[in-house]
Amino acid sequence: MKRFNEQQIINKIIRQSSMVSASNFPPNLKIIKGIGDDAAYWKDNDFAYCTTTDALVDNVHFKSDYFSSYDIGRKSIGVNLSDIAAMGATPLGMLISLGIGENEDEEWIDGFYKGVLEIAKSFNSSVLGGDLVFSKNIFISVTCFGYRELNSNHNNNYFLDRSKAEIDDLLFVTGNLGDSKAGLEILNMDKKVYHDSEKSLIANHLYKPPRINTGIELLKLGLKTCIDVSDGLLIDSKRLAESSNVDIFLNDDKLPVSENLKFKFPKSFKEYAMIGGEDYELLFTAPENLKLKLFEISSDLKINITEIGKIKKGNGQLFVNDELAKIKGWDHFDSIL
């Protein structure tokens, strides 16, 4: 059968879809952006809103062997709120559809929603509704909504998105890269006892806090371009480059990597940082004159912000150490189906 990948599918849907241009809306309601970003967004006279949806499937995004229902609940909300963070939006609420089978009992459901509500409440984001269905495989689909008040700061952009990187901007990333992939590798080793460094890497795979407050501060600062690192630094950097029609130059010596990752995988930690999925950090661009402000945000929020590259004139290419990058990372469909 024909080989394809996720981005090819999305591009085809965009070409075939005429929803945004064909729909008629009230005069005070305007769709700004639809398919192709971390979230779709629109505005009325006073607020801009965004929405995103993400699904998690058993044996694809998690394994019940080492994910409790509580863990699954936390992760399902965290990965969706990460998209809201990448827009610079404030969480508003969410819808949750849950598919479970005969092996999931009331205790499992209680654990799942305990995890869901713990994370939802921590970001003041209510569960507004959803659906519950029978399924042979556990699956979760979450739709999250975010907002910002217009004219609340000096940024004239409605939200951060992937398409506004400018030539000579610097490229930054929050936190550390590669820990989640390392945690997954350790879990798949099926060990009985874990060292402290391994436990930390595993914890970052089970749940990574979405960078909501950081995204909000980046938008307030006047930044324009951001994407969350969900499928790996290389893939998501390439997406940003293509959306903004620029070239991105990464320096792999600058990548932020935890001491735990270096200790556990001393020969391959750079590769983990490059291609590891589910890091859920924010990758964004900023002009050089805002570096000091970014470091103030880093200090105030107690989160690392690291400069890792630069934006140059181009047409959507990604370079690592000045060499054209071979794109590797997570893609659901990059196989023969």
Q: Which residue, among 177, 186, 314, has the nearest Cα to 234 in the 3D structure?
A: 177
Beta-bridge partners for 130: 96
| Rg for the chain, CA atoms, rounded | 20
Mean pLDDT, residues 163-185 taken together? 96
Q: How far is CA 133 from CA 58, 69, 117, 125, in A?
A: 15, 16, 20, 23
| C-beta neighbour count of 39 within 10 angstroms | 22
Q: Give per-residue pLDDT as tens, 187-229.
A: 999 888 899 999 999 999 999 999 999 999 999 999 999 999 9
Buried/exposed 92-115: b ≥16 CB within 10 Å, e otherwise: bbbbbbbbbeeebeeebeebbbeb
Alpha-carbon distance 257 to 270, whole Å?
A: 8
pLDDT, tens digit, 9 for 90 and up, residues 61-78: 788 888 999 999 999 999
The pTM for the full model equals 0.88
The pLDDT tens digits for 246-269 are 999 999 999 999 999 999 999 999
Give the contacts of 252 (CB within 8 A, at least 6 positions apart). Answer: 270, 273, 274, 320, 321
In angstroms, rounded to a whole number, what is the distance separating the alpha carbons of residues 256 and 281? 11
Over 50: is that where the pLDDT of 335 sits? Answer: no
- Is residue 337 over pLDDT 70? no
Three-class DSSP category at 86? helix
Binned at pLDDT 50, 70 and 90, residue 172 comes out as very high
Q: How far is CA 299 from CA 106, 295, 308, in A?
A: 43, 6, 18
Mind listing the domains of the chain with CATH numbers? Answer: 16-149 (3.30.1330.10), 170-331 (3.90.650.10)
Q: What angle do CA 70, 75, 77 make, to 5 degrees?
A: 105
Distance CA 321, CA 252 (A): 7
